Structure 1
């Protein structure tokens, strides 16, 4: 099974409420998303908190994700970016 097929299978499971699928997606994408977050906020502790918040939002909003409209990483990247921007605004 290729990466996209694995993603779609895990997303379908996550949409059915299966937490194991979230762990798989976290293992697959947390490193890349953390890289985006740390470049934006430049604070390790804050970046770790934002990464956690990002995956909580993924869990809560997964029903809105449609694989026909784009890749999971792009969708999760957008959540991570917006969560980081909101956290930085709150700090000011």
Structure 2
């Protein structure tokens, strides 16, 4: 069954279609979640929550608004960011500094598998270092633009402008 047919079956409540989608996407989505939360147990819990949301909200997916994987990725990213912004997570991480984390965009063994899984590694490698850092912090680690500005010690407006330029550059490369 093709992906479009699988998605339609999911939207009709077909449990087998849901299982196939889980088999197809769970590893990639887990990788993205883990790259944000840095905790296997928490990542596994979020993954289950994400697929529950996919099951419950499949009718809200609209192919005219974007790819199915992007829709799932946004659910996973938002759930991960919600987790790291939660009070319990912040309390657990209180004594850790940003230096204790390895940047996933620079760590080839870790990041390579994640970006290969979603097919953007070759495009990320082409980006300027500042773009890699911005995308890492904003999209993979879930930093807000303000937190990114503080981390990179640059004005908030500069972060916003550079982020927009980097995303546009990435978008141009992906569309070519």
* Structure 2, unpaired ranges of 5+: 91-176
Distance 1:85 1:69 in 2: 22
- The list of structure 1 runs, each at least 4 consecutive aligned residues, that deviate by more than 4 angstroms after superposition, is none
- Tell me, yes or no, if the aligned pair for 1:8 and 1:67 is still in contact at 8 Å: no
Greater relative contact order: 1 or 2 (C-alpha under 8 angstroms, separation 6 or more)? 1
Q: What number of residue pairs does the alignment pair up?
A: 88
Which residue is equivalent to 1:15?
11
Which residue is equivalent to 1:86?
82
* Structure 1, unpaired ranges of 5+: none
Which residue is equivalent to 2:53?
57
- Look at both structures and tell me which one has the larger radius of gyration over its CA atoms: 2
TM-score w.r.t. length of structure 1: 0.90
What RMSD, in angstroms, separates the aligned Cα atoms of the two structures? 1.1
Q: How far apart are residue 39 of structure 1 and its match? A: 0.5
TM-score w.r.t. length of structure 2: 0.48
